[in-house]
Amino acid sequence: MLGQDPKLERVYGLTKSQMSIWTGQRLNPESPLYNMVYTFDLEGEIDTNHFRKAFKVLVEKCEALRTVFDETKDYPRQIILENLDFEMEVLDWSSESFTEEHLEEWLDERIGKLFDLSKRTFESILIKLSEKRSIWYFNQHHLTTDARASLIIFTKMSELYSKSVEGNLGEVSAFHKFENYLIYEQTVRKEPEHLAIDEYWAKKLASVEALPKLYEQNGEKATTESKRVVVDLGEERTVNLQELAKEKDLRAFTEDLSHFNIFATVLLAYLYRISGQNKLVFGSPVQNRTTPEFKNTPGLFIEFFPFVHEVKNDDTFASLFKRVSGETFEFLRNARPAASSTKSNRAFNVVLNYINTGFPDFAGIPCKATWMHPNNSDANHHMRLHVYKDARAKSIQLFFDLNTTIFDEQNLETVSNHFLKLLDAFIENRIQQVNEASLLGDSEFNRLVKDFNDAEDFETETVVDMFRKQAEQTPNAIAIVDKKQSFSFAELDKISDRLANYLLETSVKNGDRVALYLNRSADFIISMLASLKAGCAYIPIAVNSPERRLAEKVKISQSSIIITGEKFEKDLREISTRIFTLDKVWDVLKQVDTSELERNIDPESLAYIIFTSGSTGIPKGVRVSHIGLGNYVRSACDKYSPDIAPTFPLFTAIDFDLTVTSMFVPLVSGGSIRVYEEEEAGPDLAILDVMDENEVNAIKLTPSHLTLIRDRDLSNSKIKTMIVGGEDLKTELARKIEESFPDNLVIYNEYGPTEATVGCIVHRFNSANTVSSSVPIGKPFARTMVYILDGALNPVPEGVTGRLFLSGISLSDGYWKNADLTRQKFVSNPFAAGAKMYDTGDFARLNSKGAIEYLGREDEQVKIGGIRVELGEIETALANYPGIENCVVELIKGKSRVFREEILNCVRCGLPSNYPAARFNENGICRLCDSFGNYQKKAQKYFKTPDDLKKVFEESNQIRKGEYDCLMLLSGGKDSTYALAKLVGMGAEVLAFTLDNGYISNGAKANISRVVKELDVDHVFGKTPAMNEIFVDSLVRHKNVCNGCFKTIYTLSMKVALEKDIPFIVTGLSRGQFFETRLTEELFWNDDVEAIDQTILEARKAYHRVDDAVKRNLDSSFLQDQTAFERVRFLDFYRYFDIKLEDMMEYLDDKLPWIRPTDTGRSTNCLINQVGIYVHKKEEGYSNYAFPYSWDVRMGHKTREVSLDEINEEIDETGVKKIMSEIGYVPNNETVDEKLIGYYVALEDISPRKLRNTLAKQLPAYMIPVSYVRLENIPLTDNGKIDRKALRKLTNNEPEIETEYVPPETEFEEVLAEIWSEVLNIDRVGVHEDFLEIGGNSLSAIRIMTRANESFQLDLPLNRIFEMPTIKSLSKSVEKTIIRRLSVESN
Amino acid sequence: MKEAIKEYISKHFLGDRQEADLAMSDDILSSGMIDSMGVIQLIAFVEELTQKKIPPEDMVIENFVTINAIEDYINARKETQ
């Protein structure tokens, strides 16, 4: 097929380079990525006949042109044909009116031509444009050529043409044979020296950490499409470079080597600057033409090797160059033929190709050679830089081949611009630091630094002025409502005027500071306004602050007075500052005359001081002036409530600057404040009250608040405007929230440290447009300047990560009484003379849509619930504890439940010890087995006989309306198949129902169709397009897929049954599953089996109400009809039938055409089940079948050994991951808990409780570590820094990180705590512990609620515990119900 | 020594040119006779010849510009040890 005479063919394997190209082409069969195309523009008369003739001889003389490729048994080979017939095409356009566009169009199309590599690997066309000008178009597949080979062939063609014209064509000598290189490559591979070379590259490859992300693009989905940007360096620059290459420190053996080193240095500098990475790698081809013969052989010789190098942060171009030169030597020394590998070819995404070539005249005719780009290149080469040095040209050209999936059309130029900036910096002054050279061009600089920021200046009013104006406009509108009272704008204005006047008369003077130690209340708002009106700055201090912090704030701020309420006075006993108790002056205030009150407030004066955590252990006070506050509040009003008067809840801590929005925006825009007081103890859960009451239309809150309400049904919420601030907002959370609220909700993501007054960058969330995992923070507020800078304070290009700096009118002027820290954090703004800018310490970048994305922090500052925490502050406090020699505090992200190494299994049932709340007695028997003995007999009453089932059907038959007696849920597995057969055997008319979840195995489907045919029953498949979403939701909620599937089955089958008037749905649940989900000891306390059924029915109703993916996606409106559950009832087949596994299998084998599928693992019907088991094992540590199987064992349906085999089975990870990606499940790390852990070095263990109690005196609750680990030494890295990774590992081996234990207080809480600890088998349960987190499930829910209802004589719904998942909240619910009942009774 | 180097260069880099054309004092670097990769090969050859590694600081033009220079360099290294 390939040649006429096989004997004349020579067959070889592929070289390393050929193999790599072959593979690349196989992966992209439709891409012309390896077309090496040259056009030779011949400015002279060409005789087409001679040209043709010459080319024919060229093919005869050139093996590379006669080489073709094919594949046998997956192995490619090359065949050198003895003859290859080729008539070259000549296009004569000389008679047409030729245009350059015409040629370009032709080239554009032609260049993409694909080769059938088994036939020919080149094409050659002569285009005659006129008598005096022709174009020779020559395209060779890269498999048989490289840059040097192109020159060799061109030179030979030129010679052949000349000789042909002269009539001496026979004189031309043949080429060297490429075959010789093929043989040579085979032999060098076998040389012993090769081992050392391989080892060198293996080491190099191991040192590659990560490929540089070009402008932060990861390139996962890169295609082969690529664009070439050609940059001519120009004569002047080229000369400068040539001169530079002669300088002593830059000189190398050859000019080329010196040039290569310069370009390699600049490329590394460039990659360092745009990726932020120090350790870098690029690939570079080596010629491999090691002998004079090879230098003149056509064919593919080049081979790619990775050039691995590190750029240091303090490198100058010169110092980097010096090390690069050394590296180049090593690189070239080891870049031997055949030393590359698939691995080394994949170890880079950037290529530097230094080409020194020079096409001479063509047979005396002036010729311009152009190497064309086929608009495609290797998908994993995101950027190729070809330094193209034509010996005949006066200037060097740079070709940037840029992958278009990585670089937008608009960014193509950016690459070359940035590279040139650094090249010029090198040429101009190589002793400058690499990170100081400017990267941006003028227009880019203006765009990023000037246009991005709105520096428009105008007079800002103070919040007091704005409030007064508002009070004049809407005097009677309600400004604030709290628990006790409400004030109109006029009233609030008046009373705060009076208080201001009174304060000035009795206690303070203009310019003083006033501490406000008050709870959230109208009193607080009045005091705050009064302080401001008196020309004083207020210092808010929340009433639950630890004593020491309260004292520090008062002392540091040098407050003249503390305004407080009577009930808080007791906290201030130790403080010497004068106390001003509001409750004592209300009466006096009525008499105060305010006519003398000074109305003008100096806008430059201080409005408030808010303290944030300081790493030294002492909180730092941020000074915020009226200008800053006024500007923020005005901007926020314009942005968030341009049209409506917003009602905001005041529910966050008063000393948290986020709260400023909730107070001032309504006060200056005619809205109102609704106050939600803090609890006296325990965590602040006011957010839940805000949602429950549903009285506000705007809210300012943190992502932590959102996680508290994310699972609620908020479809009736009145909130239209949601401003999220304080910490990173994850897109997934924002989407979730958007879904649970009505459609008209607008979410703003606001960014701003206290130092820049609440917020200064904002983004309106748009679900459809958000691709990043976090919601962007957006664009600057008015009169705010935002800069993203590198280490040398240069602006970074779009897409590149830098540090975020803030400047502008809302910027604080520094820290109160802390000039050193102020100088350190507020530096000169290099872009605005005389101005300061604040170094946030946050990383950010500008995305392609012009919005800023927040990317984390550089230091140890962390955020807990949106509040800034310096770990150093906690460490200082911990280190003061007697006996602690050294300590570190870490915020650990991870599951609170830790999996122990050694797992025991109950000796009777096999239940693993890491099953939540599994407890074993001294004989190794689990509690469940132990207590089962006590009610096993009683439980028998629940079970019935086959005759009972028959009776049920017979009775219903009398009144049956529809065609069927029952609907059988047929999964296709063994249990339901057996059940179906038995039902039919009883004479029942059955409709079989199967959910086709998309993952029913073929084997199972075949079983289903055989079985229903054999039994002659009607069968329907249920389906939903939302199945994947349901799987994902189920994996997130329950760490399995079955829960989602079951609920889908119940919902769909109920619908079918209702439509067809089928009175029963029969399930194939096993007896083990009854106990797993519903049967509990409590249910048998009284002998009333009816009540059990009723409870199960209630649980089922509650179950259908849970707002999950099934509820959202499937129509379940028919379930709202209360009679639905009466019209269709559920029967569990195995309640009536009792059968052992082996008997069942025997029956299936003998009586039914049911064959155990081999494609589903342990499950007998479903492929996706494996995913559920995998996720459950991974996230919970044990198989989700561990518990139900333990019941199967207990019931005698399975042996312990079989059960253990199944729950411990290895799972095929590849298959699982494939399905995960199909359904779109991403293992979720965002919902993991974050906990503070204290590590300390001390002689002996210190009780965590003592540590916590001590710290509680100094630090707010959220800053107190929940767990403590004693260490011998604090682990350090090689650099002597704390090895935080090692600490995290340590934590994983430490058992249980507990939620802080808060004991029950009220009687209700005590009773509940007792029930919880009994049911969940936990020694003690704190009132804030989450039911699900500590191992609760539907079964324990039933048990707890049954017991609670019994204890309190109530009939609370069983699912109440899911709504009120802590003892605290549940006891409130109990209390409320009792009070309501009492009041009804007393009426 | 010189002859061995000359032979190596002739064999590997001269191609069609004759060994006789190569003088001990010819500039083998800037004449383009030897390219970058060639220098690396030559250095490896000298290392093999002398059974000594050439330290990076010695890899300068002065030491390799002519066959004479290479010999001088090799001799100088012998003396310093």
Helix, strand or coil for residue A126?
strand
| Residue A332 forms contact with B (CB below 8 Å) | yes
Beta-carbon separation of A253 and B64 below 8 A: yes
Q: Is the pLDDT of residue A920 over 70?
A: yes
Beta-strand ranges (E) seen in A84-242 are 89-92, 122-130, 133-141, 226-232
pLDDT of A594 reads: 87
CA pair distance A1043, A1031, nearest whole angstrom? 9
A40 and A357 in contact (C-beta within 8 Å)?
Answer: no
Residue A367's closest CA among A133, A37, A43?
A43
pLDDT of A896 reads: 35
Q: Is the pLDDT of residue A1358 over 80?
A: no
Q: Is the pLDDT of residue A667 over 80?
A: yes
Residue of chain A whose Cα is closest to the Cα of B12: A291
Residue of chain A whose Cα is closest to the Cα of B40: A333
- What mean pLDDT is reported for chain A? 86
Q: Is the pLDDT of residue A263 over 70?
A: yes
Confidence of residue A1162 (pLDDT cuts 50, 70, 90): low
A948 and A941 in contact (C-beta within 8 Å)?
Answer: no
Residue A407's closest CA among A269, A230, A216, A210?
A216
Confidence of residue A426 (pLDDT cuts 50, 70, 90): very high
Residue of chain B whose Cα is closest to the Cα of A260: B36
Residue A525's closest CA among A495, A549, A503, A501?
A495
pLDDT of A1245 reads: 82
Q: Which H or E run contains A147?
A: helix A147-166
**Percent with pLDDT over 90 in chain A:** 44
Confidence of residue B17 (pLDDT cuts 50, 70, 90): low
Residue A516's closest CA among A536, A496, A545, A539?
A539
Confidence of residue A861 (pLDDT cuts 50, 70, 90): low
pLDDT of A10 reads: 85
| Residue A246 forms contact with B (CB below 8 Å) | no
| Residue B40 forms contact with A (CB below 8 Å) | yes
What count of residues does chain B have? 81
Q: Give me the amino acid identity at A104.
A: E
More confident residue, A347 or A411: A347
Query: Taking residues A688-704, what's their average pLDDT?
Result: 92
CA pair distance A877, A1313, nearest whole angstrom? 33
CA pair distance A785, A1104, nearest whole angstrom? 52
A154 and A55 in contact (C-beta within 8 Å)?
Answer: no
Helix, strand or coil for residue A128?
strand
pLDDT of A895 reads: 42
CA pair distance A1180, A1111, nearest whole angstrom? 25
A1317 and A1323 in contact (C-beta within 8 Å)?
Answer: yes
Report chain A residues whose CB lies below 8 A from the CB of B61: 251-253
pLDDT of A1141 reads: 79
Q: Give me the amino acid identity at A485.
A: Q
pLDDT of A1293 reads: 38
Residue A591's closest CA among A524, A528, A529, A499?
A499
Write out pLDDT tens, residues A1168-1227: 888 888 888 877 778 888 888 888 888 777 888 888 888 877 777 777 877 887 787 776
Query: Taking residues A627-644, what's their average pLDDT?
Result: 90
Beta-carbon separation of B61 and A253 below 8 A: yes
**End-to-end alpha-carbon separation of chain A, Å?**
103
Confidence of residue A856 (pLDDT cuts 50, 70, 90): confident
Residue A70 β-bridge partners: A77
pLDDT of A181 reads: 94
pLDDT of A1206 reads: 81
CA pair distance A1164, A1184, nearest whole angstrom? 16
CA pair distance A804, A756, nearest whole angstrom? 12
Beta-carbon separation of A253 and B14 below 8 A: no
Confidence of residue A1387 (pLDDT cuts 50, 70, 90): low
Beta-carbon separation of B15 and A296 below 8 A: yes
Both tokens assigned to A1093:
């059924």
Q: Is the pLDDT of residue A1297 over 70?
A: no
CA pair distance A1167, A1157, nearest whole angstrom? 11
Report chain B residues whose CB lies below 8 A from the CB of A289: 37
Bridge-based pairing of strands A133-141 and A89-92 is: unpaired
What count of residues does chain A have? 1387
- Mind giving me the DSSP string for A1011-1025? HHHHHT-EEEEE--T
pLDDT of A898 reads: 34
Report chain B residues whose CB lies below 8 A from the CB of A326: 56
Cβ–Cβ pairs < 8 A, chains A and B: 47
Q: Tell me the C-alpha to C-alpha distance, in Å, between residue A918 and each of A895, A924, A1079, A1188, A1292.
A: 19, 11, 18, 14, 21
- Highest mean pLDDT pick, A661-665, A1208-1212, A1327-1331: A661-665
Q: Tell me the C-alpha to C-alpha distance, in Å, between residue A85 and each of A5, A61, A80, A134, A708.
A: 14, 13, 13, 24, 76
Beta-carbon separation of A253 and B37 below 8 A: no
| CA angle (A1346 as vertex; A1340, A1349 as ends), nearest 5 | 135
pLDDT of A1196 reads: 79
Q: Is the pLDDT of residue B81 over 60?
A: no
Q: Which H or E run contains A838?
A: strand A836-846
Query: Taking residues A1308-1318, what's their average pLDDT?
Result: 86
Both tokens assigned to A408:
């937008």
Q: Is the pLDDT of residue B42 over 80?
A: yes
Query: Taking residues A1127-1141, what's their average pLDDT?
Result: 88
Burial label for A528, CB within 10 Å (0-12, 13-18, 19+), is: buried
Q: Which H or E run contains A398?
A: strand A397-403
CA pair distance A129, A44, nearest whole angstrom? 11
| Residue A391 forms contact with B (CB below 8 Å) | no
Query: Taking residues A814-834, what's their average pLDDT?
Result: 93
| Residue B66 forms contact with A (CB below 8 Å) | no
Q: Tell me the C-alpha to C-alpha distance, in Å, between residue A870 and each of A653, A1285, B39.
A: 18, 19, 57
pLDDT of A1202 reads: 83
Write out pLDDT tens, residues A160-196: 999 999 998 888 888 999 999 999 998 888 888 888 8
pLDDT of A1267 reads: 79
Both tokens assigned to A1066:
């029969």
- Highest mean pLDDT pick, A23-27, A237-241, A932-936, A1236-1240: A237-241
Q: Is the pLDDT of residue A1128 over 50?
A: yes
pLDDT of A477 reads: 96
Query: Taking residues A556-576, what's their average pLDDT?
Result: 94
| Residue A251 forms contact with B (CB below 8 Å) | yes
Confidence of residue A1295 (pLDDT cuts 50, 70, 90): very low
The model scores a pTM over 0.90:
no
Confidence of residue A228 (pLDDT cuts 50, 70, 90): very high
Helix, strand or coil for residue A564?
strand
Among A80-89, A599-608, A717-726, A1239-1248, the minimum mean pLDDT is found in A1239-1248
Nearest to A254 among B16, B39, B44 (CB): B39
| Residue A257 forms contact with B (CB below 8 Å) | yes
Q: Is the pLDDT of residue A848 over 70?
A: yes
pLDDT of A1151 reads: 86
Confidence of residue A1164 (pLDDT cuts 50, 70, 90): low
CA pair distance A592, A504, nearest whole angstrom? 11
| Residue A188 forms contact with B (CB below 8 Å) | no
Residue A1079 β-bridge partners: none
| Residue A290 forms contact with B (CB below 8 Å) | yes
Q: Give me the amino acid identity at A1259.
A: L
Helix, strand or coil for residue A1055?
helix
pLDDT of A1181 reads: 77
Residue A355 β-bridge partners: A388
More confident residue, A396 or A912: A396
Residues 296-325 of A with CB under 8 A from B: 296
Report chain B residues whose CB lies below 8 A from the CB of A287: 35, 37
Q: Is the pLDDT of residue A1230 over 60?
A: no
Report chain B residues whose CB lies below 8 A from the CB of A296: 15
Helical spans, DSSP H, in A991-1081:
1002-1015, 1027-1038, 1042-1059, 1071-1077
Beta-carbon separation of B39 and A291 below 8 A: no
Q: Tell me the C-alpha to C-alpha distance, in Å, between residue A867 and each of A611, A659, A702, A703, A729.
A: 11, 12, 9, 11, 14
Strand order in the sheet with A89-92: A89-92, A122-130, A133-141, A35-42, A367-372
Nearest to A257 among B14, B36, B43 (CB): B36
Query: Taking residues A578-587, what's their average pLDDT?
Result: 94
Q: Give me the amino acid identity at A1104.
A: H
Q: Is the pLDDT of residue A209 over 80?
A: no
**Percent with pLDDT over 70 in chain A:** 92
Write out pLDDT tens, residues A1009-1058: 999 999 999 999 998 888 888 888 888 777 888 888 988 999 999 999 99
Residue B5's closest CA among B60, B38, B49?
B49
- Mind giving me the DSSP string for A934-952? HHHHHHGGG---HHHHHHH
Q: How near does any CA of chain A get to the CA of B24, in Å? A: 18
Q: Tell me the C-alpha to C-alpha distance, in Å, between residue A1266 and each of A1235, A1236, A1296, A1325.
A: 7, 6, 10, 15
A1238 and A1251 in contact (C-beta within 8 Å)?
Answer: yes
| Residue B55 forms contact with A (CB below 8 Å) | no
Write out pLDDT tens, residues A961-988: 888 989 999 988 888 999 999 999 888 8
A1219 and A1168 in contact (C-beta within 8 Å)?
Answer: yes
Both tokens assigned to A523:
């009193």
Bridge-based pairing of strands A122-130 and A89-92 is: parallel
pLDDT of A1292 reads: 44
| Residue B37 forms contact with A (CB below 8 Å) | yes
Contact residues for A877 (Cβ-Cβ < 8 A; gap 6+): A617, A1255, A1258, A1259
Both tokens assigned to B12:
């590997």
Write out pLDDT tens, residues A374-398: 999 998 899 999 999 988 889 999 9
